[in-house]
Structure 1
Amino acid sequence: MPLSKDQQAEIDAQRATSQSTLRATAPGMEKHLYTAHPVLDHGFVRVIDYMGDDNAITQAARVSYGKGTKSVQNDEGLIRYLMRHWHSTPFEMCEIKLHVKLPVFVARQWIRHRTANVNEYSARYSILDREFYIPAPDALNAQSVINNQGRGEALSGEEAQRVLKYLTDDAMRCYDHYEEMISDEGQQGLARELARMNLPANIYTQWYWKVDLHNLLHFLRLRADAHAQYEIRVYADAICKITADWVPYAYKAFEDYRMGGANLSATALDCVRRMLKGEAVTQETSGMSKGEWREFEGVIG
């Protein structure tokens, strides 16, 4: 279960209690507060708190007050201008705090984004739960033959079943030994901070992750991309849906200019101009490496 009974009871109590506030609220985000959105087999993402909305971005850009000095249409246009020209500071006026439950190996990827405030569940102080990420059969893939850090075709038949059995058996055996080592029944019991070293990287951990909108969108641009590892991408996808409800204008501009757009080098842009003039440009005449040309072809279709 992604949530324990105690966690669900705490969430229910929080959602049943409302308080009046004078600060700006985002109606789309209010529905997400405290709600746990399931991810993978035991994970979740839930919003603990947030600050700001689309209006906070335009207020900061204009250094205005109240509802701002322009119309709603101008607000959306300003946000698109800011996104288009990479003016990041106004987006830093919005913040979000998330509670995330995720496998340790996903957390190690995630923590590379060093632009957030993080507090993780302590396995020195507490005992980790017997919960491990075991991929669905269709998420078991061979190594990609063209990408050293990616996946290729899905495993099938006996090989897939054997891998799933190894992952499950090894995780359970490691946790059995973890419990035995920390037990103080008939022995001193090993310190938790030492016993945790025996646990596999697919065990679940939890943390609070607080980040401003500018750095959140940078995280989503990388981790919600089709080339990102599946196990972190599904978390990014869940956060994308939350962000779209929180700051709809900003997220729409983000989808248009970051997720759906493309950056071209001077060399690539020159190739586009040559193509528009009718020239048959090839990789050999483009001035690009084979890898760059392959990516360029992917952009222009």
Structure 2
Amino acid sequence: MALTDEQRAEITAQRHAPAQTMRPTVPAMEALLFEPFELLDHGFLRVVDYMGDDSAVVQAARVSYGKGTRRTSEDAGLIRYLMRHRHSTPFEMCEIKFHVKLPLFVARQWIRHRMANVNEYSARYSVLDKEFYLPAAEQIAAQSRSNKQGRGDALSAEAAQEVLSILQRDALQCYDDYEQMLDSEGMGVARELARVNLTLNTYTQWYWKIDLHNLMHFLALRSDPHAQYEIRVYAQKMIEILKAWVPQTAAAFEEYRLGAHSFSAGMLNVLRRRLAGEDVTQENSGITKREWAEMMAVLEADAS
């Protein structure tokens, strides 16, 4: 279970205790504030605070006092210009804070994005819950032959079930040993030491605050099909939240980041030669086989 009845009651109380403010707010965000979105088997994601909106990006870019008399279409055009030319500082004027419950191995990937403020549940101070991530059977796959850090073909139903049994057995055994070490009438081991025995699929929680520019960088990487499935689940829900929070920025982000591709100087040279009617193959292209394959994958995908 992602949330206990006590936690749900606390969230309900928060949602029914509105506060007046003079700062700009976004109705769509106010509607989902504090609401937990359950992800994976025991995880969740919720927005606990935010600052700014699309107009804050525009205001920062123009260094103006307010919305002024400009039309919405002009603001959208400016946001698209900023996104297209990768101007980052206006987007840094908006911030959002999430409360996230996630498996430890996902947290270790997530924390690589250093441009954020993080406060994680302390297993030195408190005892971690007896909750572990177990993937759905269809997500259990063999090592990819082409991607050294990714999954390939799904295992058979029988093999997947065996893997699940191993994961569950080991997690339960390690947690039982964890509790035994913590027992004050037995070993009485310090929490900071006992925790080292826990498996990486144990759930943790944190508060994670980040500005809009760095959030979009995170989402561009972690929603990519090459990212690990478990972190993509969180990224995809955050993209939905992004659309509610800053719809004009989200539209520009989808157009110029998520739906766009970058070509190297060598790749662009190949494209110019092909447009000029030259017969260009990988052998005479001047780029590596891997670059050629990546370029063609983009072009063929777009063409289809």
TM range (shorter): over 0.9
2:219 corresponds to which letter in structure 1?
A: L
Query: Is the CA contact (8 Å cut-off) linking 1:141 and 1:155 kept in structure 2?
Result: yes
Query: Is the CA contact (8 Å cut-off) linking 2:180 and 2:187 kept in structure 1?
Result: no
State the TM-score, normalizing by the size of structure 2. 0.97
Give the Cα separation in 2 of the matches to 1:171 and 1:280. Answer: 57
Q: Which residue of 1 aligns with 2:205?
A: 206
2:216 corresponds to which letter in structure 1?
A: L
Q: Which residue of 2 aligns with 1:265?
A: 264
Give the Cα separation in 2 of the matches to 1:106 and 1:89. Answer: 28
Select between 135-144 and 285-294 the one with higher mean Cα deviation: 285-294
Q: Which residue of 2 aligns with 1:192?
A: 191
Give the Cα separation in 2 of the matches to 1:157 and 1:18. Answer: 49
Please list the CA deviations of residues 114-149 of structure 1 after superposition, one character each: whole Å capped at 9, or x if unmatched: 000000000011010000000000000100001101
Where in structure 1 are there 5+ consecutive unaligned residues?
Answer: none
Where in structure 2 are there 5+ consecutive unaligned residues?
Answer: none
In the alignment, structure 1 residue 276 sits paired with structure 2 residue 262: no
Please list the CA deviations of residues 75-126 of structure 1 after superposition, one character each: whole Å capped at 9, or x if unmatched: 0000000000010000000000000000000000000000000000000110
SS in 1 for 2:132: coil
**5 Å matches for 1:233-244?**
233-244=232-243
Give the Cα separation in 2 of the matches to 1:153 and 1:31. Answer: 40
Query: Is the CA contact (8 Å cut-off) linking 1:178 and 1:198 kept in structure 2?
Result: yes
SS in 2 for 1:298: helix
Give the Cα separation in 2 of the matches to 1:121 and 1:6. Answer: 18
Query: Is the CA contact (8 Å cut-off) linking 1:117 and 1:209 kept in structure 2?
Result: yes
Query: Is the CA contact (8 Å cut-off) linking 1:59 and 1:68 kept in structure 2?
Result: no
SS in 2 for 1:119: strand
Give the Cα separation in 2 of the matches to 1:35 and 1:22. Answer: 23
Q: Which residue of 1 aligns with 2:40?
A: 40
**5 Å matches for 1:65-214?**
65-185=65-185, 187-214=186-213
Q: Offset of 1:158 from its aligned partner?
A: 2.5
RMSD: 0.9
Give the Cα separation in 1 of the matches to 2:68 and 2:110. Answer: 36
SS in 1 for 2:32: coil
Q: Offset of 1:279 from its aligned partner?
A: 2.1
Query: Is the CA contact (8 Å cut-off) linking 1:150 and 1:229 kept in structure 2?
Result: yes
Q: Offset of 1:224 from its aligned partner?
A: 0.5
Query: Is the CA contact (8 Å cut-off) linking 1:58 and 1:68 kept in structure 2?
Result: no
Query: Is the CA contact (8 Å cut-off) linking 2:282 and 2:292 kept in structure 1?
Result: yes
The 1:107–1:205 alpha-carbon spacing in structure 2 relative to 1, beyond 3 Å, is same
Q: Number of paired residues?
A: 300
Please list the CA deviations of residues 200-223 of structure 1 after superposition, one character each: whole Å capped at 9, or x if unmatched: 000000000000000000000000
Query: Is the CA contact (8 Å cut-off) linking 2:117 and 2:210 kept in structure 1?
Result: yes
Query: Is the CA contact (8 Å cut-off) linking 1:101 and 1:206 kept in structure 2?
Result: yes
In the alignment, structure 1 residue 300 sits paired with structure 2 residue 299: yes
After the TM superposition, which parts of structure 1 deviate over 3 Å for at least 4 consecutive aligned residues?
none
How high is the sequence identity, in percent, across the aligned residues? 63
SS in 2 for 1:31: helix
Select between 88-97 and 62-71 the one with higher mean Cα deviation: 62-71
Give the Cα separation in 1 of the matches to 2:80 and 2:120. Answer: 35
1:27 corresponds to which letter in structure 2?
A: P
SS in 1 for 2:181: helix
Q: Offset of 1:69 from its aligned partner?
A: 4.7
Q: Which residue of 2 aligns with 1:24?
A: 24
Give the Cα separation in 1 of the matches to 2:68 and 2:153. Answer: 52
